[in-house]
Amino acid sequence: MSHGPHDAYDQTVLDFIDHSPTGAVPHTPAYQDALVRLRSSHQVFAHAEHKDAYVTARSLAAKPSFHAANLAALAAGEISADALEPNDAIFTRYVQSLPAASRPKAEALRLAVAGRTVQHRKHAGIIAHDAVRSLFLVPGGGPHPGIPGNYLHGTLLQLSADAAAAWELHLHDSDDGLAIAQTERLADAWTLLQDVIASAPFHLSELDALGFHLT
pLDDT at 109 over 70: yes
39 within 8 A of 205, measured Cβ to Cβ: no
Percent of the chain at pLDDT exceeding 70:
93
pLDDT at 2 over 50: no
pLDDT at 83 over 80: yes
Categorize the per-residue pLDDT at 212 as very low, low, confident or very high, splitting at 50, 70 and 90. very high
pLDDT at 1: 41
What is the mean predicted confidence (pLDDT) over 142-162? 96
pLDDT at 4: 78
Q: d(Cα 128, Cα 109) in Å, to the nearest integer?
A: 28
pLDDT at 119: 46
Nearest to 178, CA basis, from 144, 148, 151: 144
DSSP structure string for 53-108: -EEEHHHHTTS--EE-TTHHHHHTTSS-GGGSPPHHHHHHHHHHHS-GGGHHHHHT
- The least confident of 22-36, 109-123, 176-190 is 109-123
153 within 8 A of 113, measured Cβ to Cβ: yes
What is the mean predicted confidence (pLDDT) over 17-24? 95
pLDDT at 125 over 70: no
What is the mean predicted confidence (pLDDT) over 43-47? 97
The CA distances from residue 106 to 51, 89, 94, 176, in Å, are 16, 14, 9, 18
Q: d(Cα 41, Cα 28) in Å, to the nearest integer?
A: 20
- Where residue 47 falls (left for φ over 0; alpha for ψ -120 to 50; beta otherwise) is beta
Q: d(Cα 107, Cα 129) in Å, to the nearest integer?
A: 28
pLDDT at 163: 84
- What residues have CB less than 8 Å from 7, skipping those under 6 apart? none
In DSSP terms, 170 is beta-bridged to 155, 180
pTM of the predicted model, to two decimals?
0.91
β-strand pairing of 133-141 with 126-128: unpaired
pLDDT at 120: 45
pLDDT at 200: 98
pLDDT at 117: 61
Q: d(Cα 76, Cα 36) in Å, to the nearest integer?
A: 44
Nearest to 143, CA basis, from 194, 87, 207, 188: 207
